[in-house]
Amino acid sequence: MSLGQGDKLKLMVVDDEPDNLDLLYRTFRREFQVFKAANGFEALDILAQQGEMAVIISDQRMPRMNGTEFLSRTVAHFPDTIRIVLTGYTDVDDLVEAINSGKVFKYITKPWNPENLKTVVLQAADTYKVVKQRTKALTQALRRESVINTVLKALRESLDYASMLHKVVQTLGDTCDATHAILHPIPALPTGLHDSQALESGPYAYQAKSPLSSELQAFLLEDSRKRICLEPEQLQANLASLTFQGLAIRALTLPLIYQQNYLAVVVLYQIGSGIPWSSDTLGLVEGITEQIALAISQAQLYQHTRLQTHQMQTELAVARQIQANLLRQQLPVVNGVRIQARCLPAREVGGDFFEVYCHPQGDLWLAVGDVSGKGVPAALFMASALSVLRRELAQATPAAPYRLMQTLNQSLSMELVSNNCFITLVLVRYVPTTGQVIYANAGHIYPMVWSDYQGQGQAPAKPPHPNYLEQRGVPLGILPEWNGQVGEYWLRGGDTLLLASDGLTDATVTVAGTTDSQATLKQVGLWQLLQQQAPPLNLDHLLSTIQALNVGQVDDQTVLSLEVLAP
């Protein structure tokens, strides 16, 4: 704002008649600091020396440069100045030109009434104050928004929490023209996180281009630490003065608080006899600390989330390995048959499982199961089901598949029902000496059986359609007592029995010959892929083919095969 001596607004009067200048000076000298100029050139020189005037009163008819031309030259440099034109003429063209080019507030004719002129000038002064206040408020708002945008942009560009805090202290230091700035974070890790490297302790420092001596840096660091050793209730924004080896230092302490949580403390330093912080700058900085604290809080939350995610991923990786170890790592070797089994979880852990167990009596037990749902809950039920199944199969004389299904349902149904889960399972007992297959199916997809035949002088080939073992009951965990029909089949040399989970048949694949047409594979599509494979069967190749066609695996994929070798 244009203030002169004694906080008076500055007023300039321009007239080529000395009597008018003296009269105007005497009229306004009590309310304003008045500057006199006899012509436009002299007035421009005064403006160059004194800066902005609150009000300019100029005569219109002056030699060499008229009032309109003079006022128009002041618009670019002093847009907020209020301009008043005095003239003894009533030329309309002059009036229009003065208003348009000179941004004139009032046009007053001579001779003027001193009281009326004084009233107009006081109104002009009030208008000037309002304009400056609004301009100041707008400038502060724009500056505040600019600083906040700069901070938020810096946060978005930061690679991690530590670099983000560096950006914050650097932005505050630049904004406040600080010589040096130090930020001390106050981390508060959630319960259960014990990573000492989670949020670095800092501090984070900023300094202007001129480097500080190591002694001065150590002094400022120690001073900043003293300012955060207070109790949180005592920590408030404050401005202090201190000295170091004769150097005057101003220190501004800014606590960054969000929802009564102390996140960090920033101490800004001005060293030497430079221009001290203005009240506008202090108000600006205090006004944006809440937004900066919010940004830091969000970044801190994001960092915590990253740590939790990393910890969860680590734990899930361990769980995946444990679950993989629950499945048979080495399949039994049985004369006359070839066994393969594969399981690909859709997530780190899943609910699919398989079992291959060779009983000491010689029977070979095969199973493929699928727990409803995905992730950790399904994996826990999978472990329970596999544990119960192995316990029953390890008996001296295992029960028939039908009875084993009833035992599994009785052991698991209460937990399954309470958690709104169920298990589909197909359980097969194969007798190698006779080729007999007895099976029970609890809501699982049908097992497939086929025999590769070989014509005269031809390579082995698959039949047009497989045999589906279609005896099936409800899934485990649906009814208190499981009921289903017993299935029986006889395998011969060259026959293949395939058990699979619905992760294969329900896979969404890209239709051959198209780029955007998609369909569910189903058992028909699975059989077509099997037909395309040359003997012997390779489950790794089968799964990789499905993965290549799969739009995105959303369910666990498990498959088990038993091939009876030709004699």
Among candidate residues 103, 23, 6, the one with its CA nearest the CA of residue 56: 103
Q: How many CB atoms lie within 10 A of CB 389?
A: 23
Q: Indicate the SS3 state at residue 302.
A: helix
CA 18, CA 59: separation in Å to the nearest integer?
Answer: 12
Lowest mean pLDDT: which of 86-100, 130-144, 489-503? Answer: 86-100
In angstroms, rounded to a whole number, what is the distance separating the alpha carbons of residues 154 and 296? 11
Q: In this model, does residue 475 exceed pLDDT 90?
A: yes
pLDDT of residue 437: 97
Q: Which residue has the higher pLDDT, 229 or 132?
A: 132
Q: How far is CA 72 from CA 34, 40, 275, in A?
A: 21, 11, 34
Q: Which CATH architecture has domain 10-136?
A: 3-Layer(aba) Sandwich (3.40)
407-447 pLDDT, tens per residue?
A: 999 999 999 999 899 999 999 999 999 999 999 999 999 99
Q: Calculate the CA 169 to chain-centre distance.
A: 22
Residue, of 560 and 300, whose pLDDT is higher: 560
Spatial distance between the Cα atoms of 463 and 453, rounded to a whole number of angstroms:
7
Fill in the DSSP letter of residue 66: -
The pLDDT value given to residue 262: 80
- The label of the residue with tokens 């997530």 reads 347
The Cα–Cα gap between 356 and 555 comes to: 22
| 185 within 8 A of 205, measured Cβ to Cβ | no
What value does the mean pLDDT take over residues 199-214? 74
Closest C-alpha among 123, 105, 121, 124 to residue 113? 121
Q: Cα(22)–Cα(8) distance, rounded to whole angstroms?
A: 19
Burial pattern 39-73, b for ≥16 Cβ within 10 A else e, equals bbeebbebbeeeebbbbbbbbbebeebbbbbbbbb
The confidence score (pLDDT) of residue 355 equals: 96
Highest averaged pLDDT of the listed ranges 79-83, 262-266, 363-367, 513-517? 363-367
Q: How far apart are CA 419 and CA 410, in angstroms?
A: 15
| pLDDT given at position 236 | 67
What gap in Å lies between CA 465 and CA 442, rounded to an integer? Answer: 24
Predicted confidence band of residue 341 (pLDDT cuts 50, 70, 90): very high
Please report the pLDDT score of residue 194 as a whole number: 34
- Residue 222 phi/psi, 5-degree rounding, is -65, -40
DSSP string, 159-199: SSHHHHHHHHHHHHHHHTT-SEEEEEE---PPTT---TTSS
Fold match between 10-136 and 331-564? Answer: no
Per-residue pLDDT tens for 111-167?
888 888 888 899 989 999 998 888 888 887 887 788 778 777 766 777 677 777 888
Pairing, β 487-490 against β 104-109: unpaired
Residue among 288, 255, 252, 245 nearest 270 (CA): 252
Q: What is the pLDDT of residues 533-561, one digit of tens each?
A: 888 899 999 999 998 888 788 888 999 99
Contact in structure between 339 and 544 (CB atoms under 8 Å) = no
Q: Among 62-71, 276-285, 419-428, whose mean pLDDT is lowest? A: 276-285
Q: What is the fold of 158-188+213-304?
A: Beta-Lactamase (3.30.450)
Contact present, 550 and 507 (Cβ < 8 Å): yes
Q: How confident is the model at residue 63 (pLDDT cuts 50, 70, 90)?
A: confident
d(CA 543, CA 249): 72
**Among candidate residues 217, 233, 230, 272, the one with its CA nearest the CA of residue 249:** 272
Q: In whole angstroms, what is the distance from residue 467 CA to residue 497 CA?
A: 9
Maximum mean pLDDT: which of 97-111, 314-328, 381-395:
381-395
In this predicted model, which residue has the larger pLDDT, 144 or 502?
Answer: 502
Mean pLDDT of the chain: 84
Q: Residue 272 region, left (φ>0) first, then alpha (ψ -120 to 50), else beta?
A: left
Q: For residue 393, what pLDDT is reported?
A: 95
Angstrom distance (rounded) from CA 295 to CA 156: 10
pLDDT score of 533 = 85
- For range 281-301, the mean pLDDT: 77
At 453 the three-state DSSP class reads strand
pLDDT band at 322 (very low <50, low <70, confident <90, very high): confident
Q: What local confidence, expressed as pLDDT, does residue 497 receive?
A: 97
The number of angstroms, rounded, from the C-alpha of 200 to the middle of its chain's C-alpha atoms is 20
DSSP summary character for residue 215: H
Mean pLDDT of the 329-336 span: 92
Residue-range domain boundaries for the chain = 10-136, 158-188+213-304, 331-564
pLDDT of residue 447: 97
Q: Which CATH number fits domain 331-564: 3.30.420.10, 3.40.250.10, 3.30.465.10, 3.60.40.10?
A: 3.60.40.10
Predicted pLDDT of residue 191: 37
Residues whose CB falls within 8 Å of the CB of residue 329, separated by 6 or more in sequence, listed in order: none
pLDDT confidence of residue 567: 75
Q: What is the mean pLDDT of residues 244-263?
A: 85
Looking at residue 432, its amino acid is: P
Least confident of 201-215, 318-332, 402-416: 201-215
For residues 354-382, average pLDDT: 92
Residue 488 has pLDDT above 60, yes or no: yes
pLDDT of residue 46: 93
Q: Phi, psi (5° rounding) for residue 241?
A: -120, 140
Question: Residue 283 corresponds to which tokens in the numbers above?
Answer: 């108000």
- Provide the percentage of residues in the chain whose pLDDT is more than 70: 88
Lowest mean pLDDT among 225-234, 338-347, 527-536: 225-234
189, pLDDT greater than 50: no
In the 8-state DSSP scheme, what is residue 329? S
Q: Give the burial string for 457-490 (b: 16+ CB within 10 Å, else e).
A: eeeeebeeebeebebbbbbbbbeeebebeebebe
Confidence check: pLDDT of 354 > 60? yes
Distance CA 28, CA 31 (A): 6
Residue with tokens 């300019």: 56
HEC secondary structure over 106-168: EEEECCCCHHHHHHHHHHHHHHHHHHHHHHHHHHHHHHHHHHHHHHHHHHHHCCCHHHHHHHH
pLDDT at 456 over 90: no
Highest mean pLDDT among 89-103, 261-275, 420-434: 420-434
- Residue 333 in tokens: 């070797």
Q: Looking at residues 178-205, what average pLDDT do you find?
A: 62
